[in-house]
Structure 1
Amino acid sequence: MAIIPHTALWAAIVLLFSTLCTAKTVTYDFNVTWVTANPDGLMERKVIGVNNQWPLPVIEVEKGDQLVVNMHNGLGDKNASIHFHGMYQNGTNEMDGPIMVTQCPIPPGADFVYNFTVNQNGTYWYHCHADYCYPDGYRQALIVHDTESYFYDQYEEEFTVTVSDWYHELVEGIAPDFLSVYNPTGAEPIPQAFLFNDTLNTNLVVKPNTTYLIRLINIGAFVAQYFYIEDHTFTIVEIDGIYTEPTEADTLYIAIAQRYAILLTTKNTTDKNYPIVTVADSALLDTIPSDLRLNLTNWLEYNADADHPQAVMTVDDATDLVPYDDFTLTPYDKMPLLPEPDYTLELSVNMEILGNGEGYALLNNISYTAAKVPTIFSVMSSGSLATNELVYGEFTHPIVLEHNDVVQVILNNNDGGSHPFHLHGHAFQVIDRTPSYGASFYSYVDGDPVPYNASNHTAFPAYPARRDTFVLPPQGHFVIRFVADNPGVWMFHCHIDWHLSQGLGMLFIEAPTQMQERLNIPQNHYDVCKTGGIPSEGNAAANTMDYLDLKGQNTQVGWLPGGFTARGVVALVFSCVSAVIGIAFLVVYGLSDLKFKGREEEGMGEGGKVGGKGVGKATVMEASRENSGEEVK
């Protein structure tokens, strides 16, 4: 047994008591309600607010605090939850928030209590983790202040900046057209606007020759954004809650769910104001409407009376911007490369049309489909069978991890789009990625996918960057490592909300035996399940008698019959639509003919006219075109 020197022991005791004395309970009461807002000035719409207000409140705590959020679902027509994005929830897996994973959906009228200790620091956010929910405005920053950070005494003031895409229609209205036979390619809905702190034309008011901490969070649902400030550089000090070695940069690429903290020292002048520029990554958009503004100008305001100029774009396309490569950042704690993995998982991303003609996303040919019982409850009720992956169903794509194993995940992208993957419960080391940022980031799109080759790769970094959300390049790959030291059920998924709705996710069931020993799920969580009519025990099929019998489990949509292609599906769909329209034409024409003959026999017409108005093919054809969406001329 190691001997602890008296001085070290006393230091540890003093630190413990200091933490206990300064830690406090921070409580927020959230009544989640519908409100109206018009953040881009183009359309007023319903959004999800808190306590009848929107934007939502920023949650602010200090490291070591107990955070309590008393949530009431006052929406009336929608389930809800809260995921505290980036919080490891070590020992409190039940507070993580994704519905049908670590809790039941919170139905309208129900109450739920989130209660956990914040034992980390940095820049985070919170959002709804129910189906089609957070793009309707249910998302905001969560800041953990840390007076012991290495840069705490280097800045005078801090700002929190969120960037996001914005839709004018409720997500529940957009979704049916997205997952549809009429959208077999799975083209994501195009936003109507992009926001900066949930609005436009914002000033960050600064003083000359002063250093500020700026926290940057992409709280959108789909589109990554570039960020820079004209004629300024800054110093990166944090990514996703992980402090980094101070690194100078001038441009960042912030994918969905990613966060940065930067130190910015202002100029020693007040003669002008400088554009803060955010530019949407247009490579993610299938089409770019003529009225969609991809680049926004907000301002670093030195002088309120001076001009506020619009940004001058110096490149033809946003993909020509070269951001700082987060792969090359070094953690401030210099945590070394983890040892060779105990468990390696190789995954491939594919976007496919399944048997219903709709586009889905798959990892190793599985499109994530939630179980009938939240997976955490299957763990807690399955006894010694908890280590058997079969308990959790085939289509939740469950992987059981041994406690404290070093886990390596190889993720290959067979898709031409990028995917920001997020791992709940952990920050992971990023040890390999191809291609890199910059012009080469999209260089593989027109070629063949390049999977990871274990026998032919560059040397892994000695001190790899760590974060909880990392971008999988188009048709490229990345490799990550983490230690399975946090017992719980953790999602690993693409954070583009449209892609998660298509099934681009899976579950890690980490140390289920230790989960049963350590977790203490509050009765309130079981009550919410009962209120919503959702079982809280049993396997993925809600079978409590035989946990290895999955009869009746939720399943993904079946595969297309052999030989069908995307083009074939489209042709088949529109052939069927045309056939239906053709039959409708025949029926309408036939009925009109019978009606005409009946009236002619009564002596009410001559030459094919009734009451002086023609009843012929033109009218029927116009109706046919209207039904098919074709323009009527």
Structure 2
Amino acid sequence: MMILWRIIPIIALLIRLTVAKTHKFNLTASWVKANPDGVFERDVIGLNGQWPLPVLRVNQGDRIELLLTNGLGNANTSLHFHGLFQRGSSFMDGPEMVTQCPISPGNSFLYNFTVDQVGTYWYHSHSGAQYGDGLRGAIVVSRPDLEYDFEEVITLSDWYHEKSDILHHKFLNKYNPTGAEPIPQNILMNDSRNITISMHRNASHHLRFINMGLEVSQYVWLEGHNMTVVEVDGVFVEPYEAQVLYIAVGQRISVLVRGIEDIDGSARNYRLMQRLDETMLDVVPDDLALFGINHLVYNDAAPLITEEFLTDLEPFDDFELTTLDRTPLLEDYDYQIQVTMEMTNLGDGINYATFNNVTYVAPKVPTLMTVFSADPDIVTNAQIYGSNTNTFILQENEIIELVVNNFDDNKHPFHLHGHQFQVVRRSEAYENPTPYNEGSPSYDAFPDFPMSRDTVIVNTNGHVVLRFKANNPGVWFFHCHLDWHLEQGLALVLVEAPLTLLQTQKEKLPSNHIDCCKSGEVPFRGNAAGRFGTPSEWLDLSGELLQPPPLPPGFTLKGYVAFIMCVGAALYGLYSIYEYGMEDVVGLTSETEVLESLSTALRKDRFSKSHYGADLLQELTGQN
């Protein structure tokens, strides 16, 4: 049976390649008005004047040619195809200043690549937190051998009433020294609320769930139905029964659901529930709707049940999943990258996210352009990619072990571009930071057939151990998909097989990459500081973009908060003294009247009984 499952996809791929199609999209991003939660109308980013955005449906082996024009007028943009490997076309991956220059207002960029995977994916802006303004949609690559009768793409998201650039400035601000993330105003399903999904009795339904939110994971459960998990993040798995799903931002889960029989003749409808994971929020405002009540409709004439349907929120553990082809654990690693993530305040008073005390700061030249403009004798030197980009060089076909230690009291969904990784260890949540201790006898053995995906949750104060093979030359981003944390700099860059990149992809770089840089006045050759020439000039990073200096010695976050509170209390005290002292002064006209009134006020107050108060009173009134 295992051999059969390995052969079927190969046969299907060969068939697809012989009938492959090219899907052309000519899309303009622009601002349109929308009111998805029925509470507040705001500007969102539509494509060709429409929002929500279309589902892109293709088959394995098909080609996508998507011309994106920036009609926003006041903002750069870009597009990332989340979960697609871009094998042989890493320059189409999309994150600005990593693989391309941003698309400036009025300009266009052609994304042109072949899809060599199947499963559930999505596309979104990779410019700041811009996809929170609505520039995001689903990609479905059908798997021909998976049988079902009906299919539904179901997107989940948190929703903000303010635009991402406004929230960005409020968030990364010295007046937010604790780094408290913006709190969403609502919860959405398919960019709306109270949606209906048509169900058919005794039929098989394929439901593809995608969390396109900016911050909060979501629980999902169905009233009266069981779910069979068949895919996570484009990886097909051995069927796994589940009652509740837990989907972090960036993650996808596909399930099969059997339409129930009408046993008692009532032909009733059922509820499809979603709930925000409120433990990820610093505060939960009273007006924040944690629940979303949606509907599985069998009978249009029957009423929709609008009361909340509660269930035990204990989702299945995706760590227990096994890939459908039972891919074995990758052999011992060749290269281990171990990073510790923390939140810290730097010298400008802003709270940043760091890997090994370095917060990601975009270089002046897109990192992939640095690779393509470097000579072979310098391209493997990590120094040229910048001091603040957290760049690591991977050799081709190495087994990479990536360890993330979470020194934060929140969960974090980490996403890797260009690869799916094996999740070989994921710790539980801890009260205090507990880094990975390689070789600890208390750890369970790594699974023989570990789960694979491209976005994984790292638990509170815990750690995760990931493995993948460096078999896709390119420049790949690894970052927290809780997007506010990416805005804080929680990212690193993997420059994979740079020599192979130079030999195989440099000549394929489309000219519109360079045109995009020129139109935005962004340099497209040189090191992270835009310098090139001799080897010594390549290693000269003077003028590069750097993180702010550290806080003065001994000045901690607690001290910063205490300082602000003390200043606030002092200002309030001065204001109170002013108000108290002036209430009897208002209306007095002569100097004598003012001094007599002030003398009386000081005598009434305990302030006048102090040594300083007595001296001041004597000076003002000339009295002994």
- Pick from 557, 560, 571: which aligns with 2:551? 560
1:123 alignment partner in structure 2:
120
Question: TM-score with structure 2 length normalisation?
Answer: 0.88
SS of equivalent to 1:260: strand
1:141 alignment partner in structure 2:
138
1:521 alignment partner in structure 2:
509
- Pick from 419, 428, 443: which aligns with 2:412? 419
**Distance in 2 between the 1:262 and 1:16 partners?**
23
1:629 alignment partner in structure 2:
none
1:630 alignment partner in structure 2:
none
1:21 CA drift (Å): 2.8
- Pick from 233, 256, 262: which aligns with 2:249? 256
Question: CA offsets, 1:226-258, max 9 Å, x none?
Answer: 011012111111000011011111111000000
2:560 alignment partner in structure 1:
569
Letter in 2 for 1:547: W
1:497 alignment partner in structure 2:
483
**Distance in 1 between the 2:76 and 2:471 partners?**
32
**Distance in 2 between the 1:430 and 1:278 partners?**
26
**Distance in 2 between the 1:118 and 1:411 partners?**
30
Indicate how the Cα distance of structure 1 residues 587 and 70 shifts in structure 2: closer, same or farther if over 3 A, else same.
farther
- Pick from 440, 443, 461: which aligns with 1:455? 440
1:370 partnered with 2:370? no
1:27 partnered with 2:12? no
1:330 alignment partner in structure 2:
322
Deviates more, 1:100-109 or 1:183-192: 183-192
1:157 CA drift (Å): 1.1
**Distance in 1 between the 2:543 and 2:518 partners?**
20
- Pick from 287, 293, 308: which aligns with 2:289? 293
2:346 alignment partner in structure 1:
354
Asked if the contact 1:165–1:222 (Cα under 8 Å) also holds between the matched residues in 2, the reply is yes
Indicate how the Cα distance of structure 1 residues 15 and 214 shifts in structure 2: closer, same or farther if over 3 A, else same.
closer
**Distance in 2 between the 1:141 and 1:449 partners?**
36
1:146 CA drift (Å): 2.3
**How do 1:607-626 and structure 2 match up within 5 A?**
607=593
Letter in 2 for 1:250: Q
Letter in 2 for 1:113: L
1:571 CA drift (Å): 2.7
**Distance in 1 between the 2:587 and 2:528 partners?**
61
**Distance in 1 between the 2:514 and 2:211 partners?**
33
SS of equivalent to 1:232: coil
1:408 alignment partner in structure 2:
401
1:624 alignment partner in structure 2:
none
**Distance in 2 between the 1:31 and 1:484 partners?**
35
**Distance in 2 between the 1:524 and 1:106 partners?**
10
1:16 CA drift (Å): 7.7
1:469 partnered with 2:465? no
1:508 alignment partner in structure 2:
494
Letter in 2 for 1:366: V
1:271 alignment partner in structure 2:
267
Asked if the contact 2:408–2:433 (Cα under 8 Å) also holds between the matched residues in 1, the reply is no
SS of equivalent to 1:568: helix
**Distance in 1 between the 2:13 and 2:289 partners?**
52
Question: CA offsets, 1:68-118, max 9 Å, x none?
Answer: 110100000000000000010011011000000000010000010000000
**Distance in 1 between the 2:308 and 2:316 partners?**
20
**Distance in 2 between the 1:503 and 1:156 partners?**
44
**Distance in 1 between the 2:161 and 2:542 partners?**
42
Question: CA offsets, 1:482-534, max 9 Å, x none?
Answer: 00011111000000110000011000000000111111211111011011110
1:156 partnered with 2:149? yes
1:20 CA drift (Å): 3.6
1:227 alignment partner in structure 2:
220
Indicate how the Cα distance of structure 1 residues 295 and 386 shifts in structure 2: closer, same or farther if over 3 A, else same.
same
**Distance in 1 between the 2:138 and 2:102 partners?**
22
- Percent identity of equivalent pairs: 44
1:182 CA drift (Å): 2.0
Question: TM-score with structure 1 length normalisation?
Answer: 0.87
**Distance in 2 between the 1:137 and 1:111 partners?**
19
Q: How many residues align?
A: 580
Asked if the contact 2:228–2:256 (Cα under 8 Å) also holds between the matched residues in 1, the reply is yes
2:583 alignment partner in structure 1:
none
Indicate how the Cα distance of structure 1 residues 301 and 376 shifts in structure 2: closer, same or farther if over 3 A, else same.
same
Asked if the contact 1:412–1:452 (Cα under 8 Å) also holds between the matched residues in 2, the reply is no
**How do 1:471-490 and structure 2 match up within 5 A?**
471-490=457-476
Aligned-pair Cα RMSD in Å: 2.8
Indicate how the Cα distance of structure 1 residues 180 and 585 shifts in structure 2: closer, same or farther if over 3 A, else same.
farther
Indicate how the Cα distance of structure 1 residues 12 and 431 shifts in structure 2: closer, same or farther if over 3 A, else same.
closer
2:611 alignment partner in structure 1:
none
2:60 alignment partner in structure 1:
63
1:304 alignment partner in structure 2:
300
2:280 alignment partner in structure 1:
284
1:533 alignment partner in structure 2:
521
1:179 CA drift (Å): 1.2
Asked if the contact 1:218–1:224 (Cα under 8 Å) also holds between the matched residues in 2, the reply is yes
**Distance in 2 between the 1:159 and 1:49 partners?**
22
**Distance in 2 between the 1:376 and 1:585 partners?**
59
Letter in 1 for 2:469: V
Asked if the contact 1:24–1:65 (Cα under 8 Å) also holds between the matched residues in 2, the reply is yes
- Pick from 69, 73, 78: which aligns with 1:76? 73
Asked if the contact 1:452–1:478 (Cα under 8 Å) also holds between the matched residues in 2, the reply is no
1:344 alignment partner in structure 2:
336
Letter in 2 for 1:195: L
Asked if the contact 1:410–1:477 (Cα under 8 Å) also holds between the matched residues in 2, the reply is yes
Question: CA offsets, 1:313-355, max 9 Å, x none?
Answer: 446xxxx611011111110111111000000111111111111
**How do 1:434-445 and structure 2 match up within 5 A?**
434-435=427-428, 442=429, 444=430
Asked if the contact 2:28–2:70 (Cα under 8 Å) also holds between the matched residues in 1, the reply is yes
- Pick from 86, 96, 101: which aligns with 2:98? 101
**Distance in 2 between the 1:32 and 1:366 partners?**
34
**Distance in 2 between the 1:182 and 1:13 partners?**
56
1:577 CA drift (Å): 6.3
Large movers: runs of 4+ above 2 Å: 11-21, 310-315, 446-456, 571-589, 606-609
Deviates more, 1:463-472 or 1:575-584: 575-584
2:210 alignment partner in structure 1:
217
Gaps of 5+ in 1: 1-10, 436-441, 590-594, 610-615, 618-633
- Pick from 174, 181, 187: which aligns with 2:174? 181
Question: CA offsets, 1:163-204, max 9 Å, x none?
Answer: 000000111111222112222111111100000000011110
Letter in 2 for 1:533: E
1:379 partnered with 2:335? no
**How do 1:233-248 and structure 2 match up within 5 A?**
233-248=226-241
Gaps of 5+ in 2: 1-7, 581-585, 596-600, 603-624
**Distance in 2 between the 1:588 and 1:377 partners?**
62
SS of equivalent to 1:571: helix
1:58 CA drift (Å): 1.1
SS of equivalent to 2:415: strand
1:128 CA drift (Å): 0.2
SS of equivalent to 2:518: helix
**Distance in 1 between the 2:208 and 2:168 partners?**
31
**Distance in 1 between the 2:570 and 2:463 partners?**
44
Asked if the contact 1:277–1:311 (Cα under 8 Å) also holds between the matched residues in 2, the reply is no
Deviates more, 1:501-510 or 1:262-271: 262-271
Letter in 2 for 1:392: Y
1:394 CA drift (Å): 1.2
